[in-house]
């Protein structure tokens, strides 16, 4: 009897997972969990109740390639980078080599931004834009700028575990975005960050900026160093050097509140028209102005300074 139940359960999971891949049925919330031990980048894709599949970066491949498998290790889709592409560009195909869409990064930038295209290869379905802290991709409709999904990872992390939430189901379904395009964005983002940590980071940033075909999306090293100096000066003037920083949980909560309040203050500003440098300066200015408030506790000021330094130094 137990064997029959187990067989029926496995059959149900197989059918459910196959339907998800075939019909592009996306749960309202699901999770991308990176494996602790693996020869290459790999993630489990799952909901709270069942596993949807697994994503692997192909170990031996001339082009950067990610592969998607169902819970029974049947390959369901492949994302391949393009050889002749300056920015990160991934074409996604199903198991029958039918084209599903592609994701293309605008430029290597302080605020990673990907454009997501549909099956016809020309219709832009969405824009995935990273927040200041490097923790959340928000998926927007490129026409109306409405939010339709969020992809979030913890502020403090030892590996890349993401939570994907569909915030506007009707709009997301109308766009018919294949969820594996979003998975590819997350996998590549983590890989790129790891590669940058493994090499001389400053040299990499400088080379990226100098080779950039669109400086509007880049922030040069000298500008970052200027901002770091401003933050250090603000800390000294506020007398925060000997103030103890809050614990990690408090820091993460302050980071969330800081960005939320900043967005409210900038409600009438269209970020899509700003350069990366302008966005960065605006957020730093807003944050440092808070440090000058007399009624703000020193512990919170210390937290803001610490968070800003971490972000600019690549600690987040």
Question: 102 forms bridges with which residues in the sheet?
Answer: 91, 117
Closest CA to 114 of 94, 139, 93, 136: 139
State percent of the chain over pLDDT 70: 84
Closest CA to 129 of 112, 141, 143: 112
Summarised one tens digit per residue, pLDDT across range 133-148 is: 999 999 999 999 999 9
Lowest mean pLDDT across 23-37, 38-52, 197-211 = 197-211
pTM greater than the 0.85 cutoff: no
Which position has the higher pLDDT, 141 or 271?
141
Question: 127 forms bridges with which residues in the sheet?
Answer: 115, 140
Radius of gyration of the chain (CA): 21
Residue 33: CB partners within 8 Å, gap ≥ 6?
43, 44, 46, 161
pLDDT at 245: 86
Cβ atoms within 10 Å, residue 185: 25
**CATH code for residues 29-198:** 2.40.160.200
Section 91-97 average pLDDT? 95
Section 167-184 average pLDDT? 94
- Predicted confidence band of residue 5 (pLDDT cuts 50, 70, 90): very low
pLDDT at 108: 55
Burial level of 311, CB count in 10 A (0-12/13-18/19+)?
buried
Q: Is 124 left (phi over 0), alpha (psi -120 to 50) or beta?
A: beta
Domain with CATH 2.40.160.200 in the chain: 29-198
Measure the CA–CA gap between 16 and 19, rounded to whole angstroms. Answer: 5
């Amino acid at each position: 009897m137990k064997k029959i139940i187990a067989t029926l359960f496995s059959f149900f999971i197989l059918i459910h997972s196959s339907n998800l891949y075939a019909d592009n049925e996306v749960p309202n919330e699901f999770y991308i969990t990176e494996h602790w031990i693996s020869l290459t980048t790999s993630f489990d894709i799952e909901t709270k109740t069942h596993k949807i599949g697994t994503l692997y970066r192909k170990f031996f491949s001339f082009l950067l390639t990610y592969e998607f498998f169902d819970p029974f290790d049947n390959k369901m889709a492949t994302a391949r980078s393009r050889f002749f592409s300056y920015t990160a560009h991934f074409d996604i195909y199903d198991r029958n080599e039918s084209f599903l869409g592609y994701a293309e990064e605008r430029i290597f930038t302080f605020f990673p931004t990907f454009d997501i295209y549909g099956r016809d290869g020309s219709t832009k379905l969405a824009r995935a834009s990273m927040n200041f802290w490097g923790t959340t991709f928000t998926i927007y409709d490129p026409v109306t700028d409405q939010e339709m999904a969020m992809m979030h990872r913890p502020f403090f992390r030892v590996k890349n575990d993401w939570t994907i939430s569909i915030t506007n189901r009707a709009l997301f379904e109308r766009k018919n975005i294949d969820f594996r395009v979003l998975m590819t964005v997350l996998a590549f983002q983590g890989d790129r960050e790891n590669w940058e940590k493994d090499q001389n980071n400053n040299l990499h940033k400088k080379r990226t900026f100098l080779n950039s075909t669109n400086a509007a999306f880049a922030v040069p090293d000298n500008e970052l160093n200027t901002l770091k100096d401003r933050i250090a000066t603000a800390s000294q003037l506020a007398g925060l050097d000997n103030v103890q920083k809050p614990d990690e949980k408090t820091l993460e909560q302050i980071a969330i509140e800081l960005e939320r309040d900043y967005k409210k203050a900038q409600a009438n500003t269209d970020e899509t028209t700003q350069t990366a440098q302008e966005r960065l300066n605006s957020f730093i200015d807003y944050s440092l102005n808070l440090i000058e408030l007399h009624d703000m506790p020193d512990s919170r000021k210390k937290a803001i300074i610490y968070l800003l330094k971490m972000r600019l130094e690549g600690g987040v």
